[in-house]
Structure 1
Amino acid sequence: MDLSRLQIAKQAAFDSYGNQHSECLPGTRIDLLREIEEWAKSPHGKCIFWLNGMAGTGKSTISQTVASRLQDQQLLGASFFFRRGEEDRGTAKKLFPTLTEQMVNRIPQMLPRVQKAMDDDPNISEKVLREQFEKLLLNPLFDIEQREEIKRRVIVIDALDECDSEDDIGIILQLLPQVRKSTSVQLRFLLTSRPELPIRLGFEGITDAHQDLVLHEIEKPVIEHDISLYFEDQFLRLKQRRSFPPDWPGAPATKILVDRAVPLFIAAATICRFISDVKWNPQKRLEAILTDQSTYVSKMDSTYVPVLKQLLTGQNEIESRKLLEEFKEIVGVIIILATPLSINSLSHLIDRESDDVKCRLDQLHSVLGVPNNFDTPVRLLHLSFRDFLLDHHKDKTKFWIDEKYTNQRLTERCLQIMQSSLEKNICKLPSEGIQWNEISNDSIQHYIPPELKYACRYWAHHLVQCTDLPSMMHNVYRFLQVHFLHWVEAMSLLRLTSAVSGILDLLQTAISLPQVEEEWSTLTQTLEGHSDSVYSVAFSPDGRLLASSSGDETVRLWDPATGALTQTLEGHSSWVESVAISPDGRLLASGSCDKTVRLWDLATGALTQTLKGHSDWVNSVAFSSDGRLLASGSGDK
């Protein structure tokens, strides 16, 4: 059985080494696990069971438990645990090849058709999701001969919301119900995710194919019982390692911790990791949690703020300021990285000593997976920590991370690392005609270490998310003028040639600003007034009005006949990238880098509506010919 040509995400399966989620504690989640098991075994169950809940409600732990139990009962078909920030697991590109490989190992009758799909198209793993799904999963299922006993298998897909493309999520939800046509294998899917809008909309289109359960709507006494059992179990383990009285920490203290954690299991887990850290006194850490009387607006605040405040305990103002700077520099980079890096690679990327990085991270074992091996990646223990640090509503707190500023610093460091390292024939190959398979991986890793590999692969990813993109472009131009071919050579050695065109497309989109290279002899007027670059202009249908948008966050209206400024429309909080005027000349739409589209009354200049929904810059707006529809284009794809 040779499936080596399938491009799979090697750490995505529930039982892989890189996917180490704990399972539900015995005695917890009893009714929930029973309901899922009954659905999995029932001949009349819906095709998809959607388990959704807000961050930290224990979705991945449940997925891990269900997958393990299904495997023990020979009911598991395959599993895929998405994880944002993990290169292979943060995208849907390898979802269906990965599921196919696992399915073939459990249902060998699928192999001939899968083998044929790979023979017919060796690049099937590179094709669009629909083609992958049909040729690797659906058609092989259809080809299995029907027997009296229908096989029933469940595929577990965890954290679908951590897939990086909303479009891909929608396509996946459209494709999965097609397996109901199979007469030989009854295939079902357990999907878990946060209840994000694109996923909710996707399920609205397949209402007949799914059932759902909302974790954060489970009755509070049930959640309190389960979290209380978790604390009791963790404290029992701690007492076995340390010399505490049998009744430590006491029912009142446990009750306070349970109340603080409910309904978030990640809150309970973080508190326990914080208290149990072997480098600290558990009693003092427990007291720090119990005596923290700050008012918090969310459960995540009440979980993470006390943990982070301990970093500053006992420090004077100067020391606290320095610790905060180092925290933002080191942890800010870790949570922004496109894929995890080791302490050694991080130290090169941020230009700090490895021991200094390790020293700072050793205080954060309750929120980060910090290995003792300096060459093993540092990982977030839960995505909610990243969400907490980047929440723009917390931009006045000590620990808030400025995402755009951190991306700018990462871009600068990536460019510096590439400029100092890339050169012609970087691997010192004996001849230019050498075949790729003649180059040893050890040689590539020696000359292109992880931090340089990361810089080559992701510099543009960080560039387009910078605070001040125009100011960065000078450095980018200078780098490309000298090192473009060196960069392409390195990407080729890393087997990332296919990513080069995507990076160039991304770069072209980022810098496609209007440029005028020669003067027009028909110039009649120069309209001046904006204090930054002008990105878009539009005439009204009758030609009596001209609108212009600018990086100064305004839209200005001009009389083309006289050149006079008639109105300035203010309201956007970032560059205004595009303007459009409705066919009847009554409305103006503006799209901005503040991720909104705004509608204005041209007669009065009043703001009539603010349209929100995009998660990245809005680059373009356009009215339909009848004025009844407005379209907007954004960097959120």
Structure 2
Amino acid sequence: HLPTDSIKQLNHKMTSYKTRQSSYGDPTGCMQGTRVKVLEDLDAWASNANSSKVYWMVGMAGIGKSTIAHTFCENLEGKNILGGSFFASRASEKTRNARLIIPVISHALARASPRIKVEVVKAIEDDPTLAEPAYININEQFKRLIYDPVRTTAGAVDKVVVIDAVDECDNLEVVASFIKLVLEWSSKIPFKIFLTSRDEYRIRNAFRSTRDSIRELFYLHNIEKDVVKNDILKYLETSLARIKDDDSEEWPLSSELSGLVARSGTLFIYAATAVRYITDGRENYKSRLSAMVIPGQKSISKFETDIDSLYVHIMGEVCERKESHEVDLMRNLLSTIIFLRTPLPMEAIISLSLETNARSYLSQLSSVIHLPNQPGAVVAPFHASFPDFITNPHRCSPKRCPLFPSLVASEGHELIALKCLKLLNQSLKYNICEVPEELTLSRRDRANSPENVGKISQALKYSCIYWAAHLAEVKVFDAVLVDPLHVFLHEHLLHWIECLSILGELQTGIKSFGGIVTVLSAFGLHDLQLLVDDARRCLQMNFEAVKKHCMEIYESALVWIPKNSLIRKTYIADVSRVPKVILGLSDSWGSAELIVQNGSLVTSVAFSQDGSRVVSGSKDKTVRIWNDGSRIVSGSLDQTVRIWNVTTGEVEAERKGYTSFVMSVAFSEDGSRVVSGSHDKTVRIWNVMTGGVAELKGHTSFVVPVAFSQDGSRVVSGSGDGTVRIWNVTTGEVEAELKGHTSYVESVAFSQDGSRVVSGSNDKTVRIWNVTTGKVEAEMKGHTKVVRSVAFSQDGSRVVSGSFDKTVRIWNATTGKVEAELKGHTLAVRSVAFSEDGSHVFSSSNDKTVRIWNLTTGNFQSIPTSDIAWPRGGGKTTTLGEFRIFHPFSMNSFIQLSDNGHWIISNLRDCWIPSQYCDFYCFSTWGSRICLGYSSGNVVIFDVAAAL
């Protein structure tokens, strides 16, 4: 028996689409009597237990692949052997997300089989992140969501999964990885897979990675032209016969049909678009057909020329005899549809464009734009070839299409950004879902309920999620944006964050801030830029609270941010009934942008090459990647490696297999791999994309430092056995074992050109090794304690070392002589690095400071850091976790603290405490006030009843 809540969880986690939903208009199959031979061959392949497990249909755009796939799905459904389908499309963010393929197919298979459903639900219960499109390890995802569940139905092959237009996905590397997985596991899964795409090289290379017997390849454009032309003729005859006025008249003429077939060539999309155009002409249908064809004209072989001539003809007639303002209105409406990040229904387009006559104007484009009559159905181009044409300045040039030249992407995005801002300014408000003003947690939980999501219009949802993305695409700033931006940022910024929380899109807000700041800076709007950057830090600081409870953006976030912050000064007067920090609040933001809970001593850190991510290793057997806008990788005492989202702290993926705590970690140059050294004597190389792990053995003691060479072909490791080893990343073999240190090796690094390695050791020395010969080129002595960190300068001329003797030393890499000794740290130096130009050195220490040293002057800048400690103890169980009673300050009043230190719960008010304030050393309570004391000497006094 499968629990009801588990079924709900499955349906909630898995993104479910209609079997043949397409973003480009209504899904339609082949007209009866056409594509007969192709469909017969596909049916034979599907029903033959001995045929290949994977079928790849390849063809150029517009040739009819998706139409065939739709019909094939219908045939499979009729035989009850359709296992699931995914129809990709560039028109929608969801349908072009390659990472959704596995969850969608798993969901479909689970719906088709109760036994599979049980196993899929179990997998999601074990790891809820598996069903998320952000899950990075597609190898693990495929195994746990598809392979493991379907093994329970092992036996005859009786299901077929259809995946259409994978070339329209936004990450073809993910598509290629998925195809390779399918081919690798095809012999072990009890179903077949049918894929269609254009002949894209990454997809082609993925299929070539396996032997021919596993997959079948069919080039749709290789069908005999006479067969295709007969199918197109049959389609045209049947479709056009439906619209003639008099059944007795001969229309269309055979010469006209021949001309239209000739113009269509082998492109069904040309024929389908021509039929819609002629049909939309109503009483002018005859003249429209006559104008399109010249009897006996030969087809043009080039697709773009062929289809473009039709699109030019359509756009010319649409604009003919129209006033310029009418054409401008149509351009605006068409720009909106073409450049939307995801398609919208007509009612949302009307709300966004503020054009009540939008449907009337767009109906004139109904041969290229699908205008459904069903409420909620989206408006979108019929085929991807039309957006390609209308946005290409060469194909839709003023010379070829003078009345309607090509749409400009930057102008289109500016138009949509402006429309979104106007709608946001008009619609957003405090407590937008009008949740009753109660003081319990249940009020805030209800604010984020699906019921309230439904109260927000489709147009407002779109504007909240995508306005910033459109703004980021604006290349030339227009003053028309200034006033709406100013109003939005000064009056509705917090309302926007509240709305994002309700929609479950708060992470979108975090990601949006960077793009908004960049645009405002580029266009000289520095006052607005500072306000947005302030809001970003406010949301990062309070992300967990606001994500769970949308009203916390007012009731907690504004409470804790620095007194002089712009966002506080701008909005605090507009918010009533908030608690108050009486003493101890910072005046301004500190240098730490973000504090993420780690829970154990950090033993190693390293930047990725682009500086966007940091990987850290910890004594709790963890590896973490800290990304300033994307992800974190971590591991824990349960020997797992996890991928975290840095802005939210949520787990995106995990990797198990570590048997002891991690001593060191490092990125490859391209960020695709992470190497770790462990106390279990092994080196592991983790492929971030596929999740695959290679284990390198050879050291006889714990592995402390690890590093990649610049080209990613080698890894260097140092060990407690006193040796340094060079590993080949491809083969996993040891290329060199470097011996010479008399105690364990603490740090290693490659030179920029990969020819040398520098190492620092517990024997107090620094050594430079020649990678080719394995010989020591220089031995540097001078430190009086263990050398904890070493690094080459960018040009390889110098080496920097940091030691537990509290000093930083600069060495000449050729002579081995010390060039400078930098003193200032009061405790052991743990990490050092050169700036890119070699003019500065960075060092971090156990004295909780990071110092930036100027190598010219010898001066340094000191930046304080802090540790985090979490209070622990038994307490009361609530929906938010464990709470500990601090102090009953009256018969009917009490104060509790959550086990992680983040929530103060009382019968007066529930309050959030950000990470920066959770590391208190002691506390005391008096009435409704809490006094928190910190090891730094700071004191914070907080009154939970201040706002009542």
TM-score by length of 2: 0.49
What secondary structure does 1:190 align onto?
strand
* Paired letter, 2:465: R
Shift of 1:5: 1.9
Q: For the Cα contact (< 8 Å) 1:157–1:189, is it kept in 2?
A: yes
Q: What is the aligned partner in structure 2 of residue 410 from structure 1?
A: 416
Q: What is the aligned partner in structure 1 of residue 202 from structure 2?
A: 198
Distance change (3 Å), C-alpha of 1:15 and 1:626 = closer
Q: For the Cα contact (< 8 Å) 2:23–2:343, is it kept in 1?
A: no
* Paired letter, 2:499: A
Measured against aligned partners, the alpha-carbon deviations of 1:351-408 in whole angstroms (never above 9, x if no partner) come to 32x12x1121111221111134676432221121111111232343333111121112
1:117 to 123, 145, 152: 123
What secondary structure does 2:61 align onto?
coil
Distance change (3 Å), C-alpha of 1:509 and 1:132 = farther
Shift of 1:89: 2.0
Q: What is the aligned partner in structure 1 of residue 510 from structure 2?
A: 501
The whole-number CA distance in structure 1 between the counterparts of 2:20 and 2:374 is 24
Distance change (3 Å), C-alpha of 1:456 and 1:59 = same
Distance change (3 Å), C-alpha of 1:265 and 1:483 = same
Distance change (3 Å), C-alpha of 1:97 and 1:179 = same
The whole-number CA distance in structure 2 between the counterparts of 1:509 and 1:217 is 49
Distance change (3 Å), C-alpha of 1:360 and 1:256 = same
The whole-number CA distance in structure 2 between the counterparts of 1:33 and 1:282 is 32
Q: What is the aligned partner in structure 1 of residue 365 from structure 2?
A: 364
The whole-number CA distance in structure 1 between the counterparts of 2:463 and 2:36 is 47
2:339 to 336, 341, 356: 336
The whole-number CA distance in structure 2 between the counterparts of 1:504 and 1:212 is 46
Which consecutive unaligned segments of at least 5 residues does structure 1 have? Answer: 518-577, 579-622, 628-637
The whole-number CA distance in structure 2 between the counterparts of 1:367 and 1:259 is 21
What secondary structure does 2:181 align onto?
helix
Q: What is the aligned partner in structure 2 of residue 247 from structure 1?
A: 250
Distance change (3 Å), C-alpha of 1:256 and 1:44 = same
What secondary structure does 1:3 align onto?
helix
What secondary structure does 2:179 align onto?
helix
* Paired letter, 2:207: F
The whole-number CA distance in structure 2 between the counterparts of 1:16 and 1:57 is 16
Q: For the Cα contact (< 8 Å) 1:261–1:303, is it kept in 2?
A: no
Shift of 1:14: 2.3
Does residue 1:266 correspond to 2:269, yes or no?
Answer: yes
Distance change (3 Å), C-alpha of 1:289 and 1:436 = farther
Q: What is the aligned partner in structure 2 of residue 468 from structure 1?
A: 476
1:301 to 298, 305, 308: 308
* Bigger CA radius of gyration: 2
The whole-number CA distance in structure 2 between the counterparts of 1:107 and 1:19 is 30
Measured against aligned partners, the alpha-carbon deviations of 1:222-241 in whole angstroms (never above 9, x if no partner) come to 211110111111123234xx
The structure with the largest strand share of the pair is 2
* Paired letter, 2:42: I
Q: For the Cα contact (< 8 Å) 1:12–1:81, is it kept in 2?
A: no
The farther-off stretch of 379-388 and 94-103 is 94-103
Q: For the Cα contact (< 8 Å) 1:179–1:187, is it kept in 2?
A: no
Shift of 1:53: 1.6
* Paired letter, 1:271: A
Alignment of 1:71-470 (within 5 A): 71-126=77-132, 127-128=135-136, 129-144=138-153, 146-147=154-155, 150-182=156-188, 185-206=189-210, 208=212, 209-239=214-244, 242-277=245-280, 279-290=282-293, 298-313=305-320, 315=321, 319-352=322-355, 354-355=356-357, 357-372=358-373, 376-393=377-394, 394-396=396-398, 397=401, 398-431=404-437, 433=441, 434-437=443-446, 444-446=453-455, 448-468=456-476
The structure with the largest helix share of the pair is 1
Distance change (3 Å), C-alpha of 1:450 and 1:74 = closer
Shift of 1:46: 2.9
Identity of aligned residues (%): 30
Distance change (3 Å), C-alpha of 1:25 and 1:374 = closer
Q: What is the aligned partner in structure 1 of residue 878 from structure 2?
A: none
The whole-number CA distance in structure 1 between the counterparts of 2:208 and 2:362 is 43
Shift of 1:157: 0.5
Q: For the Cα contact (< 8 Å) 2:346–2:379, is it kept in 1?
A: yes
What secondary structure does 2:407 align onto?
coil
Measured against aligned partners, the alpha-carbon deviations of 1:597-619 in whole angstroms (never above 9, x if no partner) come to xxxxxxxxxxxxxxxxxxxxxxx
Measured against aligned partners, the alpha-carbon deviations of 1:475-509 in whole angstroms (never above 9, x if no partner) come to 76874454332212101111223433343455567
The farther-off stretch of 399-408 and 242-251 is 242-251
* Paired letter, 1:96: I
TM-score by length of 1: 0.72
What secondary structure does 1:5 align onto?
helix
Q: For the Cα contact (< 8 Å) 2:410–2:473, is it kept in 1?
A: yes
Q: What is the aligned partner in structure 1 of residue 66 from structure 2?
A: 60
Does residue 1:43 correspond to 2:68, yes or no?
Answer: no
Ranked by relative contact order (alpha carbons within 8 Å, sequence separation 6 or more), the top structure is: 1
* Paired letter, 1:342: P
2:492 to 483, 486, 504: 483
Shift of 1:19: 7.9
Q: What is the aligned partner in structure 2 of residue 27 from structure 1?
A: 33
Shift of 1:87: 4.2
Distance change (3 Å), C-alpha of 1:484 and 1:206 = farther
Q: For the Cα contact (< 8 Å) 1:11–1:19, is it kept in 2?
A: no
The whole-number CA distance in structure 2 between the counterparts of 1:3 and 1:93 is 22
Q: How many residues matched?
A: 508
Measured against aligned partners, the alpha-carbon deviations of 1:404-456 in whole angstroms (never above 9, x if no partner) come to 2111221222223223332321222212641434677565444x322211111
The whole-number CA distance in structure 1 between the counterparts of 2:177 and 2:482 is 35
The farther-off stretch of 372-381 and 222-231 is 372-381
The whole-number CA distance in structure 1 between the counterparts of 2:24 and 2:270 is 22
Which consecutive unaligned segments of at least 5 residues does structure 2 have? Answer: 527-609, 611-709, 712-751, 755-948
Q: For the Cα contact (< 8 Å) 1:8–1:95, is it kept in 2?
A: no
Q: What is the aligned partner in structure 2 of residue 586 from structure 1?
A: none
Measured against aligned partners, the alpha-carbon deviations of 1:239-279 in whole angstroms (never above 9, x if no partner) come to 4xx32435311210100010111111011111111112274
The farther-off stretch of 496-505 and 91-100 is 496-505
Shift of 1:15: 7.5
What secondary structure does 1:28 align onto?
coil
The whole-number CA distance in structure 1 between the counterparts of 2:507 and 2:169 is 20
The whole-number CA distance in structure 2 between the counterparts of 1:78 and 1:335 is 29
What secondary structure does 1:371 align onto?
coil
What secondary structure does 1:212 align onto?
strand
Alignment RMSD (CA, Å): 3.4
The farther-off stretch of 321-330 and 466-475 is 466-475
Q: For the Cα contact (< 8 Å) 1:58–1:265, is it kept in 2?
A: yes
Shift of 1:102: 1.8
Q: For the Cα contact (< 8 Å) 2:53–2:192, is it kept in 1?
A: yes
Measured against aligned partners, the alpha-carbon deviations of 1:541-591 in whole angstroms (never above 9, x if no partner) come to xxxxxxxxxxxxxxxxxxxxxxxxxxxxxxxxxxxxx9xxxxxxxxxxxxx
What secondary structure does 1:245 align onto?
coil
What secondary structure does 1:152 align onto?
coil
* Paired letter, 1:42: N
Q: What is the aligned partner in structure 2 of residue 553 from structure 1?
A: none
What secondary structure does 1:94 align onto?
helix
Shift of 1:65: 1.0
Q: For the Cα contact (< 8 Å) 1:9–1:98, is it kept in 2?
A: yes
* Paired letter, 1:370: L
Q: For the Cα contact (< 8 Å) 2:26–2:370, is it kept in 1?
A: no
Distance change (3 Å), C-alpha of 1:176 and 1:505 = farther
The whole-number CA distance in structure 2 between the counterparts of 1:345 and 1:23 is 28
The whole-number CA distance in structure 2 between the counterparts of 1:291 and 1:155 is 44
* Paired letter, 2:275: C
